[in-house]
Amino acid sequence: NAGVTQTPKFRILKIGQSMTLQCTQDMNHNYMYWYRQDPGMGLKLIYYSVGAGITDKGEVPNGYNVSRSTTEDFPLRLELAAPSQTSVYFCASGNTGTSYEQYFGPGTRLTVT
């Protein structure tokens, strides 16, 4: 099992550009999450999904969109990048049927200039 994978690892965007951060898990988890981690700070939940076709907002959803068309994939879309979105983005997945544990991907480091 690869676990949770994220692409790209690094990205530099100009203000106003758009991009999609990819997240895929091969553990058949029903729950998936997107967090952002600003330097020296904790993780803030952006969006989450409890299953294919179902998404909901977390603590800091503004400026982002998500979709969940399959169990495996949970992409995060930035439409108009702003410097405030410079952060490290972590995707995570979990299966509430057996455990609350969340498994994190390696992260995407995004810089908006």
Partner 1 sequence: GENVEQHPSTLSVQEGDSAVIKCTYSDSASNYFPWYKQELGKRPQLIIDIRSNVGEKKDQRIAVTLNKTAKHFSLHITETQPEDSAVYFCAAIGGATNKLIFGTGTLLAVQP
Element at 94 (helix H, strand E) = strand 87-94
Say whether residue 86 binds partner 1 (CB under 8 A).
Answer: no
The Cα–Cα gap between 64 and 75 comes to 10
Say whether residue 47 binds partner 1 (CB under 8 A).
Answer: no
Say whether residue 111 binds partner 1 (CB under 8 A).
Answer: no
The Cα–Cα gap between 54 and 21 comes to 18
User: Residue 110, CB half-sphere, CA atoms under 13 Å: how many?
Assistant: 32
Q: What is the 8-class DSSP label of residue 86?
A: -
Q: Nearest approach, Cβ of 105 to partner 1 (angstroms)?
A: 7
Size of the site for partner 1 (CB under 8 A): 23
Site for partner 1 (CB under 8 A): which residue of 2, 39, 42, 98? 42
Say whether residue 50 binds partner 1 (CB under 8 A).
Answer: yes
Say whether residue 26 binds partner 1 (CB under 8 A).
Answer: no
Site for partner 1 (CB under 8 A): which residue of 5, 20, 22, 43? 43
Buried b (16+ CB within 10 A) or exposed e, 49-71: beebeebeebebbeebebbbeeb
Site for partner 1 (CB under 8 A): which residue of 76, 85, 105, 112? 105
Positions in the binding site for partner 1 (CB under 8 A): 31, 33, 40-45, 48, 50, 56, 58-59, 90, 94, 96, 100-102, 104-107
